Amino acid sequence: MNNPLLQAYSTAEGTTPFDIISPEHFIPALEEQIAATLEAIDKIVAQTAPPTFENTIEALTTCGDLVERNSSLLFNLNNAATSPELQQVAQQAAPLLAHFQNNVRLNTGLYERIKTVYDTTDFDTLTEEQKMLLTKEFKSFVRNGAQLNEKDKETLRNIDASLATLSVEFGSKVLADKNAYTLHVPSVTALKGLPENAIATAAATAKEHKKEGYVFTLDYPSYVPFMTYVEDRNLRKEMSIAFGKVGFQDNENNTTEIIKKIVALRNQRAKLLGYASHAAFVLEERMARDEESVFAFLDTLKEKAVPAAQKEWEQVSRFAEEELQIPTVEKWDTAFISEKIKLRDLALDEEALRPYFPLKNVVNGIFDIAGKLFQLDFKPATDISTYAKEVTAYRVFKNKTLHAILYLDFFPRANKRSGAWMTSYRGQKKGQRPHVSIVCNFTKPTATAPSLLTFNEVQTLFHEFGHALHGMLANTTYAALSGTNVYWDFVELPSQIMENWCFQKEALDLFARHFETDATLSQDVIDKLQKKAQFQQGLQTSRQLSFSYLDMSYHSTKNEAVTDIKAHEKAIFDPLSFTPDVAENCMSTSFAHIFQGGYAAGYYSYKWAEVLDADAFELFLQNGIFDRATAQAFEKHILSKGGTAHPMDLYLKFRKQPPDSDALLRRAGLVEH
C-alpha cells in the first residue's frame, strides 16, 4: 500500500495532503512508526556514554515525530470530519497509543538515564528552556509511573488503555445522539419571533433533509436563535429538553456508564501514582497548584456572583410574570426572557446587528488586527489541500517570511462535533513553523445572504483566533514547550484577551460594516455592547461556576463513588440554579470538555484565565489597544514563549506586577471601579 503517513509529507511547506489520506492508512502507519520510535529509544538507553542532556533529553525530543503527527491528524479528523470508518480507526488507535506512551514512560532504563541527568546536571550550564525541558521530562516520567513496581506498571497500562478507549467512545456517542434529533416545523406561522436569517437557515436545512417547511438541529447556530427568539413556549420546551438529554436517553448512545468508568479509572490511576485524587494529580502541574486553591478561587467568585445573580433572577421572574404571563420561569424560558429584558433595558437587538458581522468581514478584521499588533500578513492558499470543501487555508507571513499555515473551518456538518476549538496539524520547534486550525460551528450563508454572525459568534472567533496566535507566534527550540503546551489554567489567556478587541470602536471599525450599506456601528451601539458584556453577569458567572464545581466534584478528594450521575449533578447544580430541575436532562452526559477533551479538573481555568486577561487588557487600555510596545511585550513574554518558563514568571515579565483579581470583577460590573 502506498501510504502517505509513513514518511514526511512531500508537499511544498510540509502541509497535510488530506486529499490522498484514507482511514486505512492510519493503523499500519502508527504500528510501524511506534516500532521505529521504540527502537530509537532503545538505542538511547543502550549508549555506553554517561547520560547527558544532549545524548538523552535532547535525543528523546527527536523520537516519535511521525507518531505525534499522525495521531494528532487522526483525532483532529475524528472531531472535524469523522466517518464510521474513521471512528473505528480511532477506537483501535486509542489503546494502541496509550500502550505506546506507557512503553516509553515506564521504560526503566530510559527513566534511569533521565534521572541521572536530572540529578547530576549543573542547571546553571543550561539555558532557561533546557532547564524547563529537563524538569518537565523528569516529572513526566515520575508522574506517569516510572517509579512503580512491575505489577503496578501493568495495572497502569490497563487503566490508560481503557481511558483512551472510553474517551473516544464518549465522543462518538454524544455526536450520534445529537445528530439523531431534528425538529421539523411544517409551517412558518409556528416560528413567530424567529429572525428571517434563522428561518432561511432552517428552510435550507429542511431541503438537506428532503422535507417541506423548516428543520432545526441541536447545532448551536440552529439551537441558540431558536431558544432566544421563538415565542411558542411548547416548541422551546421540546427543543430544550432534546438538547439537555443528549447522552442521557435510554438508547445505545447513553454515556452514564462511560462516565462512571472514566471517573473511577481516573481516581484509581491517581491513587496508584500516590495522589489523593485525579484533581491532585492534575493540579500539581497547574498555576492553581492544589484543590484547596481551586475551591478557594471558585468560592470567592461565588461570594460576589450569587448575590448579583439573585437580584438579576428577581428581575427575570418579575418581567416574566408581568410582561409575558409566565408565572414559573423554566429552563427553556431563560434565553427568551433575557433577550426581552436586554431589548428593553439596553435597546439592543442583537439579531439586528447580524448584518454588521458578515463572516468574511470579521475574518479580514481579525487579520487586520493581528497585522497591527503582531505584523502578521495572511494570504489565501487555494493550492493547499484541506479535509472538507468548506475549509480554507492561508499562508501566514511575518516580516515577509512564511511564519505559519492557518486552516479555517466554520460551518456545522453532520460529521463534525459541536462547539469551537483550535488545534494543530504540525507543531513549532527550531527550524519548523506551525500549522494550526480554527474549527467552529457558525451560522451558514443562505440563498439571500452571506454568513452573518451573531456578536457571540464574533467573540467565539476572536477567542479561537487567540489560541491560534499562541500557536502561530510560538518561537521555541523544543516542540514540547511550544505554543499552547503550557499549564492548562494559563492556556486560555491568549484566547480570552483577544475577545476584548470586540468591544473597542477602533477595532470594530475595521470589520463591523453592514453587508449591504457598508455602514459602521455607531458609538451608541458600541456602548450598548459594552453594557451587554456586564448584562446578567451574576447569572452567567454562577452558571460557569456550576460547571467548574461539577468538574471538581467528579475529580477531587470530595468525590465519592458516583452511582447516579443525574442525582450527583443535581446536588452540585441546585445551589447555583434558579430554574426547576428537568428530570429528562443531564449536562454531564455530553460534557465533552471533561470526558473527551483535556479539561478534567481544569474547567475552572476559564475563570482563572479571565482574571489574567482582564488584568492584562487593562494595560492595553492604558497604552492604546494597538500600542506596538504593549503588543510586542505580550508577544515576547507570552505568545512566543509557550511553556518555556512558569506562567507566572512570564506574566510578571509582561505586566510588571502580579495579576489583580478584582480586574475581572470590575469588568463584569460585580464590584465598583
User: Residue 409: which CATH number?
Assistant: 1.10.1370.40
- Is the domain of 79 the same as that of 134? yes
Known catalytic residues? 464
428 and 508 together in one domain: yes
In this structure, the answer to whether residues 360 and 238 fall within a common structural domain is no
Residue 88: Cβ within 10 Å count: 13
Three-class SS state of 547: helix
Share of the chain above pLDDT 70, in %: 99
Same domain flag for 375 and 501: yes
**Long-range CB contacts (within 8 A, 24+) of 193-199:** 193/229, 193/230, 193/231, 194/225, 194/226, 194/229, 194/230, 195/225, 195/229, 195/351, 195/354, 197/225, 197/351, 197/354, 197/443, 197/446, 197/449, 197/452, 198/222, 198/225, 198/226, 198/229, 198/443
Q: Does 551 reside within a domain? A: no
Query: Could you say which DSSP state residue 12 is in?
Result: T
Residue with cell 439579531: 351
Asked whether the CA dihedral 413, 415, 419, 423 is positive or negative, the reply is negative
- Which residue is listed with cell 492548562? 488
Same domain for 130 and 194? no
User: How far apart, in whole angstroms, are the C-alpha atoms of residue 416 and residue 420?
Assistant: 11
Q: Is 78 domain-assigned?
A: yes
Reduce the DSSP state of residue 555 to 3 states and report it. Answer: helix
Query: Which strand (E) or helix (H) includes residue 396?
Result: strand 392-398
Question: What is the predicted pLDDT for the residue at 669?
Answer: 87
Query: How many structural domains compose the chain?
Result: 3
Does 672 score more than 80 pLDDT? no
Q: Is the pLDDT of residue 384 over 90?
A: yes
The answer to whether residue 581 sits within a structural domain is: no
Quick one: 138 and 226 in the same domain? no
Identify whether residues 419 and 374 lie together within a single domain.
Answer: yes
Question: Quick check: is 666 in a domain?
Answer: no
Residues 415 and 506 in one domain: yes
**pLDDT value of position 671:** 78
Which residue, of 533, 562, 578, is where some domain finishes? 533
Helices 359-374 and 455-472, axial angle in degrees (round to 10): 40
Domain co-membership, 38 together with 120: yes
Report pLDDT for 673. 59
In terms of Cβ atoms closer than 10 Å to its own Cβ (0-12, 13-18, 19+), residue 673 is exposed
In a domain, 658, yes or no: no
| Domain span including residue 67 | 4-147
CB of 55 closer than 8 Å to CB of 128: no
Say if residue 128 is in the same domain as residue 189.
no
What is the rounded distance in angstroms from the CA atom of residue 333 to the CA atom of residue 326? 9
Residue 513 φ/ψ, nearest 5 degrees? -130, 135
Tell the residue number behind the cell numbers 524538569, with chain if given: 135
Q: What's the CATH number where 103 sits?
A: 1.20.1050.40
Sheet strands side by side (includes 421-426) = 376-380, 392-398, 401-409, 435-439, 421-426
pLDDT tens digits, residue range 390-429? 999 999 999 999 999 999 999 999 999 999 999 999 999 9
Residue 325 lies inside a defined structural domain of this protein: no
Q: Give the angle subtended at the CA of 387 by the CAs of 385 and 392, to the nearest 5°.
A: 65
- Pick the last residue of a domain from 244, 273, 297: 244
Q: Are residues 408 and 500 in the same domain?
A: yes
Distance, in Å, from the CA atom of 74 to the CA atom of 71, rounded to the nearest integer, reads 5
Q: Residues 396, 472: contact at Cβ < 8 Å?
A: yes
Answer with the one of 244, 259, 280 that is the final residue of a domain. Answer: 244
What is the per-residue burial (b if ≥16 Cβ within 10 Å, else e) of 461-471? Answer: bbbbbbbbbbb
Does 552 map to a domain? no
Q: Is 407 within 8 Å of 392 (Cβ atoms)?
A: yes
| Co-location of 521 and 372 in the same domain | yes
CA distance 653 to 659: 12
**Amino acid 665: pLDDT:** 86
Over the stretch 135-176, which tens digit does the pLDDT of each residue have?
A: 999 999 999 999 999 999 999 999 999 999 999 999 999 999
Query: What tens digit of pLDDT does each residue of 71-130 get?
Result: 999 999 999 999 999 999 999 999 999 999 999 999 999 999 999 999 999 999 999 999
Read off the pLDDT band of 661 (50, 70, 90). confident
Is 224 part of a structural domain of the chain? Answer: yes
Q: How many CB atoms lie within 10 A of CB 607?
A: 21
